[in-house]
Chain A
Amino acid sequence: MNKRTQLSSSDLSGRFYTLMLKAYPTEFRREYGPHMAQLFRDSGRAAMRDRSIGLIFQFWATVIFDLVKTAPIEHIDSLRKGKSVMNNLRRDALALFGCIAIIVVALLLLNYGRANEVSTLLLLGYALDAIVVTGVVGNFIVFLLAKTTRINPLKAALWTFLIVNALPAIALAIIGPRIDPQFRLAATMIGYLLSFIFWYGLHWMWALTKGRPRLAGDGGQ
Chain B
Amino acid sequence: MRKNISSKSGSSRDPLEFLPLTPAMFHILLALADRERHGYHIMREVEERTEGMVRLGPGTLYGSIKRMLSDGLVEESGERPDPEMDDERRRYYRLTDFGYRVATAEAERLAGLVRSARSKKLLSRV
Contact = CB atoms under 8 A, between A and B. Distances in A.
> Which residue, A37, A39, A67, A74, has most C-beta atoms of chain B within 10 A?
A39
B40 A69 contact: no
A67 B57 CA distance: 8
B59 A34 contact: no
Given A38-B89, A43-B40, A43-B43, A32 B60 contact: no
A161 B100 CA distance: 51
B43 A69 contact: no
B39 interface: yes
A28 B58 CA distance: 12
A38 B42 CA distance: 13
Nearest to A58: B55
A16 interface: no
Nearest to B69: A31
B18 interface: no
A153 B80 CA distance: 32
Interface string B37-64: 0011001000000000001011111110
Interface residues of B, number: 17
B61 A39 contact: yes
A70 B63 contact: yes
Given A34-B89, A42-B40, A43-B43, A28 B60 contact: no
B80 to A, nearest CB: 15
Contacts of B89: 34, 38
Interface string A57-92: 000001101110111011000000000000000000
> Which residue, B57, B58, B66, has most C-beta atoms of chain A within 10 A?
B58
A28 B69 CA distance: 13
B40 A32 contact: no
State the majority secondary structure of interface residues on A: helix
Contacts of A38: 39-40, 87, 89-90
State the majority secondary structure of interface residues on B: helix
Contacts of B59: 24, 36, 66-67, 69-71, 74
Contacts of B65: 32
Contacts of B115: none
Q: How many A residues touch the partner, as a band?
A: 20 to 34
A35 interface: yes
A35 B57 contact: no
Nearest to B64: A70
A74 B61 CA distance: 12
A67 B56 CA distance: 11
Nearest to A73: B63
B90 to A, nearest CB: 7
Interface of B: 39-40, 43, 55, 57-63, 65-66, 87, 89-91
13 contacts: A32-B65, A34-B89, A35-B58, A35-B91, A38-B89, A38-B90, A39-B39, A39-B58, A39-B62, A62-B57, A69-B57, A69-B59, A70-B57
